[in-house]
Chains A and B, each alone.
Chain A
Amino acid sequence: MRETVRRAGRATVQLALAVGLTAFSFAFITVLLITAIGTVAAVGIWLLPEAVLLIRRIAGAKRSMVAGWTGQEIPEAYQPITGPLRDRLRIAVRDPGTFVDGRWMLANYAYGCLGLLALPLWLAALPVDGIWCGLARRRQPLVLPLISRLADLDAAWSTALLKPSPKALLAKRVEQLTQTRAGAIAAHSAELRRIERDLHDGAQARLVALSMRIGLAKRAYERDPAAGRRLLDEAQEHAEEALAELRHVVRGIHPPILTDRGLAGAVRALAASSGLDVNVQAGELEDGPRAPVAVESAAYFVVAEALTNAAKHSGSRRAGVQLARTRNGLRVVVRDDGKGGADGRDGETGGTGLPGMRRRVAALDGTFAVTSPAGGPTVIEAELPCAW
């Protein structure tokens, strides 16, 4: 009984909010009318995009209200209204989201006042449920649940009306893919440039120097054997340095141990050489099936960067890495108990790695989150979707 009353109370608040929002959007009709008249008169045409933006906000408020009641988010799909007036107008009119919002608003004028019924229902509930439960000793009240039903009804209709069309969701997805693909291509070519520069400045230069030393040693071979020997020593040093640099470049392209041992083994090796006390939990990744190469490589990159950051900036001596296979992908969590305060924004100083990690994860359509309150701890989470 108490539970029913509490639920009815919550429903009433929900309905009252709905009524309030409806009342607000009634008032908004005036704005719409002015816009319409203005548009016809071609003076207030700039008002149109602003009006659309306002409608978006009202619809957004409704979405979050409904989500608060049902516990289920209603996705939204809008095209950003930006650029010069002409573009803004075009987007405002042609965005399918505008149509969805308009349709909902019109319908809401009709059903939005449903909530007003809550008042008479409460009045009826007091005597009816009072007698039903109090005198007839029944468990379930009759009228109070109707108020919840009313809120359910409001939520169901709003969900149906506010849900973006498949086309709009698709458009949003295309937009997102375009962005991440551009990011991935940019990151890829930056990576190629870095490799090219590393090879050019490093191994290539060393090999030139090595060849020169051998040439000189050949000349000195008969005239000055001691000098020849010295030149050969130098040549060998250059060859060894070139090899060391090539090894370094190869590790940067694709860590060999990742190929050999898979993600769990490679992360353990990272952990061992990080200089931190790292607890690695790899669960069924230990010897289960392996994720696609791109996913393993991105996950390895995230762990490597996160551990490097932790060792350099967190001031912490301990860290934890969790790798887990999820229903539709791979989940990577790296935490340290350091001093926190890492944010992905400062590109130059503390967090060089964070934007890189974010980009790398986004390119695979994954999600990336950093929580690092001042005082710590820092937790970096990445979810990489993939089929296993």
Chain B
Amino acid sequence: MRVVIAEDNALLREGLVLLLTSAGHEVVAVAAAEPEILPALLAHRPDIAVLDVRMPPGFRDEGLRAALAARRQIPGLPVLVLSQYVEEAYAAELLGGGASGIGYLLKDRVGRVEEFLDALDRVAAGGTALDPEVVTELLTRRRGTPLDSLTPREREVLTLMAEGHDNTTIAATLVITERAVSKHIGNVFLKLGLPPTDAGHRRVLAVLAHLNNATDR
């Protein structure tokens, strides 16, 4: 895959380049500051952009804004946003324009190389990768909702589903059969009152929309 990286910290930038090249990807451009991001993306049209949230010159949320701007100019551009810390609010903004080809992960996750590369592939293929910390926060912050009626197993399935995993991965992670996963998912959708949806990002979006509504009410 052709990748554009935006990361201001030289150490992390070099690390990412090393990791991606050793996994067989091609890093076509690196941006070290916010103004370089959009031109690099427009010039190279990569298969995926990996962006840090906090970038010069302001060291605030430039990377996030650049990701949103890039997706407006290049519809469907897969972006994987990395951050030193995760905020639900940012996840909501990123997913606001659709969950297809969106990733939002803690930088820590890069250390789990296999999982990180898997998330990268998923996002590039139009899927979703949400950091477990965001999902946990969404799932635990509120009581007294239909979420309470879920069994522990159903919660596990819901968590993995919200992180963006497909049935095969969920089955492998929980060491159950795919049939069982489908059954659990059916139950979750029933209990949450969601219309049954096919696999993929639309499913993630339905789940996340439900979780967001549950807390905004």
Contact = CB atoms under 8 A, between A and B. Distances in A.
B61 A247 contact: no
A269 B89 contact: yes
A240 B108 contact: yes
Contact of A273 (B84, B88, B108, B112): B88
Nearest to B107: A243
B111 A240 contact: yes
Interface in B140-157: 141-144
Interface in B95-140: 106-108, 111-112, 137
Contacts, number: 46
Contact of A236 (B85, B111, B141, B217): B111
B87 interface: yes
B84 A257 contact: no
A353 B141 CA distance: 21
Interface in A217-259: 236, 239-240, 243-244, 247, 250-251, 256-257, 259
B61 A260 contact: yes
A277 B217 CA distance: 7
Contacts of A256: 54, 84-85
B197 interface: no
Given A236-B111, A240-B108, A275 B143 contact: yes
Contacts of B54: 256, 260
Best-buried of A247, A265, A277 by chain B (most CB within 10 Å): A247
B85 A251 contact: yes
Contact of A260 (B60, B88, B137): B60
A106 interface: no
Interface string B160-194: 00000000000000000000000000000000000
B139 to A, nearest CB: 12
Interface residues of A, number: 22
B215 interface: yes
B111 A273 contact: no
Contacts of B144: 317
Contacts of B217: 277
Contact of B137 (A239, A268, A273): A273
Nearest to A240: B108
A261 B89 contact: yes
B66 to A, nearest CB: 14
- Interface size on B, as a range, is 20 to 34
A124 interface: no
B143 A239 contact: no
A240 B144 CA distance: 32
B85 A273 contact: no
Given A247-B84, A257-B89, A239 B111 contact: yes
A261 B85 contact: no
A269 B87 contact: yes
Contacts of A317: 144
Nearest to B142: A275
B85 A250 contact: yes
Interface string A155-185: 0000000000000000000000000000000
B60 A259 contact: yes
A110 B105 CA distance: 80
Contacts of A243: 106-108
A265 to B, nearest CB: 7
Contacts of B106: 243
Contacts of A259: 59-60
A379 B87 CA distance: 28
A244 B108 contact: yes
A261 to B, nearest CB: 7
A261 B141 contact: no
A272 interface: yes
B89 A268 contact: yes
Given A236-B111, A259-B60, A275-B142, A265 B89 contact: yes
Contacts of A275: 141-143
Contacts of B108: 240, 243-244
Nearest to B88: A272
14 contacts: A239-B111, A243-B108, A244-B108, A256-B85, A260-B54, A260-B61, A265-B89, A269-B87, A269-B88, A272-B88, A272-B141, A275-B142, A277-B217, A317-B144
Given A251-B85, A257-B89, A277-B217, 15 more contacts: A236-B111, A236-B112, A239-B111, A240-B111, A244-B108, A247-B84, A250-B84, A256-B54, A256-B84, A257-B87, A259-B59, A259-B60, A260-B60, A269-B89, A317-B144
Query: Which 10 A-B pairs give the minimum distances between C-beta atoms?
Result: A260-B61, A260-B60, A243-B108, A269-B89, A275-B141, A247-B85, A240-B108, A257-B87, A256-B85, A273-B141
